[in-house]
């Protein structure tokens, strides 16, 4: 069967038993620049066997994995040990995905950057605490990281939430009510207040200032607010070397999701307002947003259903985000060309990822409801469960 590509080329595809070719199209297989496949240290949530299956189901053949593991990937030895485990796990799969890794930043490991440079895609800096123990919240330490990365021409990716702002908000809330009363009356929707938008805005300002000062290539992960977008748009106009990522959960969910989803809607940075959602979509349209990274961060349902704040932050997303984007395409919110830009072409250029010539065949007319029982991820659930989506990946073609 001949299938047209998004740019009007054709490829030959064998689809035995498929009932209709109406609405079928081929697009380059996706690159997900932001995943947490939980290896090593938390393989009960995900490993590279189940992560591989989830990625392939979602049309993804290349991922960039984060370093906040147990132990974290923060030096050459821990990085290479992680690679050995990943390679062993991928040997058990029929079609192993391509992967790249970040080195985690600590207050003192900038001296490791040069040695690790050939093995990583960049440096991951947590400006605010999230899952795991990686945190660099002192300006003097951040300066060393940005300066050394600039010297080596390494990209710095930041989790942009300011730790001082978060701690101040927690202290303020604790002074208003006892923690037990606070969680009982307001959780889990209070998560978006305890990690306020001001924490994200402050961190982005600091990161931009450092990138501008040292000439560092900066990648801001999972931008969630209109204010961050405004800062990034302005910085790009000034010529700062900055790239901007948004996550599907910030595009397709907002703070209203807490009512129905409870702690399933808990992630860092938290869900924001519908106005912020609209600003993210506008930033996609005008080119301010460079990539979509899922921040695929699985936890088991047993863990996620613990009472807040014992529930961990993070949601899976890698196997549903192409379907979400195709559904948005059917709704006229985004073009196929823009989807390819955000999920393949731009990540490839930003991270220097070699071309694979992998394709994903999608059926623009297929309609399905997202169900937990269909998920390939080891955690076995999706934050988009119950959504009816039109447009789904149906097959991967590997080069």
Q: Which residues are catalytic?
A: 295
Over range 311-327, report the average pLDDT: 97
In the predicted model, is pLDDT for residue 171 greater than 80? no
pLDDT at 7: 87
Number of H helices, E strands in the chain: 16, 13
SS3 state at 208: helix
Q: What angle do CA 28, 34, 162 make, to 5 degrees?
A: 145
DSSP 313: P
Domain boundaries, the chain: 29-356
pLDDT at 76: 98
What is the value of pTM for the model shown? Answer: 0.95
**Banded model confidence at residue 21, pLDDT cuts 50, 70, 90:** low
Q: What is d(CA 294, CA 317) in angstroms, rounded to the nearest whole number?
A: 6
Please write the tens of the pLDDT for every residue from 67-87. Answer: 999 999 999 999 999 999 999
pLDDT reading at 176 higher than 80: no
Neighbours of 13 (CB within 10 A): 17
In tens, the pLDDT along 249-295 reads: 999 999 999 999 999 999 999 999 999 999 999 999 999 999 999 99
Q: Is residue 184 predicted with pLDDT exceeding 60?
A: no
pLDDT confidence tier of residue 186, bands split at 50, 70 and 90: low
Confidence bin at 185 (pLDDT 50/70/90)? very low
Mean pLDDT (the chain, rounded): 94
For the 29-356 domain, the top CATH level (class) is alpha beta
User: Look-up: residue for tokens 């300011």?
Assistant: 162
Residue 298 has pLDDT above 90, yes or no: yes
pLDDT at site 10: 86
Residues 202-218 pLDDT 10s: 999 999 999 999 999 99
Question: Is-contact 302 43, C-beta < 8 A?
Answer: no
pLDDT-above-70 percentage for the chain: 95
């Amino acid at each position: 069967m001949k299938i047209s590509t998004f740019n009007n080329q054709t490829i030959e595809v064998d689809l035995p038993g498929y009932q209709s070719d109406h609405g079928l199209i081929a697009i380059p297989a996706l690159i997900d620049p932001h995943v947490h496949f939980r290896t090593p240290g938390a393989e009960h949530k995900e490993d590279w066997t189940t992560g591989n299956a989830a990625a392939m189901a979602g049309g993804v053949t290349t991922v960039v994995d984060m370093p906040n593991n147990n132990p974290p990937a923060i030096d050459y030895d821990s990085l290479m040990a992680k690679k050995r485990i990943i390679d062993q796990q991928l040997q058990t799969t029929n079609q192993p995905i391509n992967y790249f890794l970040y080195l985690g930043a600590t207050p003192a490991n900038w001296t490791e950057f040069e040695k690790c440079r050939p093995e990583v895609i960049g440096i991951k800096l947590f400006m605010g605490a999230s899952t795991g123990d990686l945190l660099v919240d002192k300006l003097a330490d951040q300066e060393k990281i940005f300066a050394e990365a600039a010297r080596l021409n390494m990209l710095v990716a930041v989790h942009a939430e300011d730790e001082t702002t978060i701690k101040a908000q927690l202290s303020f809330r604790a002074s208003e009510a006892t923690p037990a009363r606070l969680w009982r009356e307001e959780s889990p929707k209070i998560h978006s207040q305890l990690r306020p938008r001001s924490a994200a805005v402050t961190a982005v300002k600091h990161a931009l200032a450092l990138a501008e000062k040292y000439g560092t290539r900066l990648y801001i992960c999972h931008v969630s607010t209109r204010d961050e977008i405004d800062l990034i748009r302005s910085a790009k106009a000034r010529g700062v070397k900055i790239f901007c990522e948004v996550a599907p959960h910030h595009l397709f969910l907002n703070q209203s999701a807490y009512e129905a989803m409870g702690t399933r809607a808990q992630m860092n940075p938290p869900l924001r307002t519908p106005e912020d959602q609209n600003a993210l979509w506008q930033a996609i349209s005008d080119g301010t947003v460079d990539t979509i990274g899922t921040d695929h961060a699985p936890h088991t349902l047993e863990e996620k259903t613990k009472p807040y704040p014992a529930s961990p932050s993070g949601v899976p997303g890698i196997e549903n985000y192409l379907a979400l984007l195709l559904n948005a395409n059917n709704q006229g919110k985004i073009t196929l060309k823009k989807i390819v830009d955000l999920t393949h072409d731009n990540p490839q250029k930003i991270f220097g990822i070699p071309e694979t010539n992998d394709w994903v065949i999608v059926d623009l007319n297929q309609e399905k409801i997202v169900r937990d029982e269909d998920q390939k991820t080891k955690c076995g659930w999706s934050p988009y469960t119950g959504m009816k989506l039109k447009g789904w990946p149906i097959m991967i073609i590997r080069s």
